[in-house]
């Protein structure tokens, strides 16, 4: 088509013209000013391009220097109470208190005297107890035995039953007759000490087979050996052997005499 061909040639012409003008312009600028290559003594004839678009953002910079100290913060909440402090010094004496109620009536003269008598008696009793304990110690060292309130004393070394009864009677005492195991044991200890049997203040002289104390009462405590009393050959008296057992025996043996008081 002739119109299109014409237009194309026109465009080619215009482009060539524009290129020429741009070349001329750039030569002119290069001769007047050399800004592209800042070398001192040379000045290449180079056309400057159009400014490029902005590049990508650069990397983050290094950490900066430490900043200045900040302002003081606000006051915090109240903390828990601290430990108890040391004791304070003693305070001054307080003022005199109010008068108290009226007291009870004092002891009468009679009561005061009674109290004094009682404390004197208590003191006397204490002294007597001390004395008794002293006597007891002396008696224990002698041939005397004490069981509760009964005293057993050896008054002769070899006497018959009848002689023994007499010797005790002369001392306002009687031949020993144990009323219980404790007393029997005390007498056994004396028998053991002398290594001899002893007569007890017991016999069946009045009624054969019925043993009585010297006051006539029938015995309430006995410690007969096996098969005793057997009245072997007419035995009316009682011997306490070193083992503590009893045997009915003739009244004519000669044994240590033990009286009880
Ligand atoms: C024996 C008997 C006893 C008796 C005595 C007399 O020991 O066992 O019963 O009294 O002899 O000697
Ligand atoms: Ca016998």
Per-residue confidence band for 57, with pLDDT thresholds at 50, 70 and 90:
confident
For the CA of 229, the nearest ligand: 2
pLDDT of 74 reads 87
Q: Which two tokens stand for residue 143?
A: 């041939």
**Candidate from 161, 226, 230 with most ligand 1 atoms within 8 A of CB, to mutate:** 230
CB contact set of 43 (below 8 Å; sequence gap of 6+): 30, 34, 37
pLDDT of 4 reads 43
* pTM for the whole structure: 0.56
CB contact set of 171 (below 8 Å; sequence gap of 6+): 155, 259, 261
Asked if pLDDT for residue 6 goes beyond 60, the answer is no
Q: How far is it, in rounded angstroms, from Cα 235 to Cα 203?
A: 9
Which residue would you say has higher pLDDT here, 19 or 11? 19
Q: Edge to edge, what strands does the sheet with 255-260 contain?
A: 144-147, 150-159, 255-260, 174-175
Q: Is 38 exposed, middle or buried (CB count within 10 Å of its CB: 0-12, 13-18, 19+)?
A: exposed
Q: How far is it, in rounded angstroms, from Cα 151 to Cα 171?
A: 13
Residue 248 alpha carbon, nearest atom of ligand 1: 10
CB contact set of 25 (below 8 Å; sequence gap of 6+): none
pLDDT of 9 reads 58
Per-residue confidence band for 15, with pLDDT thresholds at 50, 70 and 90:
low
pLDDT of 182 reads 98
pLDDT of 103 reads 84
- 218: alpha, beta or left? (left if phi > 0; alpha if psi -120 to 50): beta
Residue 249 alpha carbon, nearest atom of ligand 1: 10
Q: How far is it, in rounded angstroms, from Cα 225 to Cα 246?
A: 6
Domain positions in the chain are 156-260
pLDDT of 23 reads 63
Residues with CB under 6 A from ligand 1: 228, 230, 232, 235, 247, 249
What mean pLDDT is predicted for residues 219-234? 98
**How far is the centre of ligand 2, averaged over its atoms, from the C-alpha of 237 (Å)?**
9
Q: How far is it, in rounded angstroms, from Cα 46 to Cα 104?
A: 138
**How far is the centre of ligand 2, averaged over its atoms, from the C-alpha of 227 (Å)?**
8
Smallest CA-to-CA distance from 249 within 235, 259, 233 is with 235
Per-residue confidence band for 33, with pLDDT thresholds at 50, 70 and 90:
very low
CB contact set of 27 (below 8 Å; sequence gap of 6+): 45
Give the environment of ion ligand 2: residues with CB less than 5 A.
Answer: 230, 232, 235, 247-248
Per-residue confidence band for 37, with pLDDT thresholds at 50, 70 and 90:
very low
pLDDT of 27 reads 53
What torsion do the CA atoms of 12, 13, 17, 18 make, to the nearest 10 degrees?
Answer: -40
**How far is the centre of ligand 1, averaged over its atoms, from the C-alpha of 201 (Å)?**
19
Tell me which CATH code domain 156-260 carries: 3.10.100.10
Q: How far is it, in rounded angstroms, from Cα 208 to Cα 139?
A: 38
pLDDT of 35 reads 45
For the CA of 253, the nearest ligand: 1
Which residue would you say has higher pLDDT here, 26 or 106? 106
Terminal Cα distance for the chain, rounded? 183
pLDDT of 77 reads 85
Which residue would you say has higher pLDDT here, 142 or 48? 142
- For 173-226, what is each residue's pLDDT tens digit? 999 999 999 999 999 999 999 999 999 999 999 999 999 999 999 999 999 999
- For 87-135, what is each residue's pLDDT tens digit? 888 889 989 989 988 888 888 999 999 999 999 999 999 999 999 998 8
pLDDT of 13 reads 60
């Amino acid at each position: 088509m002739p119109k299109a061909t014409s237009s194309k040639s026109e465009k080619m012409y215009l482009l060539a013209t524009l290129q020429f003008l741009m070349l001329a312009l750039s030569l002119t600028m290069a001769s007047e000013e050399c800004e592209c290559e800042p070398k001192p003594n040379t000045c290449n004839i180079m056309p400057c391009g159009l400014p490029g678009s902005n590049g990508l953002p650069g990397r983050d910079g290094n950490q900066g220097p430490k900043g200045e100290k900040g302002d003081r913060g606000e006051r915090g909440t109240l903390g828990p109470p601290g430990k108890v402090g040391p004791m304070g010094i003693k305070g001054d004496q307080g003022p005199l208190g109010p008068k108290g109620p009226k007291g009870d009536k004092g002891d009468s003269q009679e009561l005061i005297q009674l109290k004094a008598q009682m404390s004197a008696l208590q003191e006397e009793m204490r002294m007597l107890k001390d004395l008794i304990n002293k006597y007891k110690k002396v008696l224990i060292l002698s041939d005397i035995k004490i069981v509760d309130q009964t005293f057993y004393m050896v008054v002769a070394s070899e006497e018959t039953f009848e002689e023994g009864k007499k010797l005790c009677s002369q001392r306002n005492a009687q031949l020993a007759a144990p009323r219980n195991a404790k007393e029997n044991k005390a007498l056994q200890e004396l028998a053991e000490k002398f290594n001899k049997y002893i007569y007890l203040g017991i016999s069946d002289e009045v009624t054969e087979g019925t043993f009585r104390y010297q006051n006539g009462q029938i015995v309430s405590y006995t410690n007969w050996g096996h098969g005793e009393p057997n009245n072997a050959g007419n035995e009316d008296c009682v011997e306490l052997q070193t083992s503590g057992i009893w045997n009915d025996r003739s009244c004519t043996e000669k044994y240590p005499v033990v009286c009880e008081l």
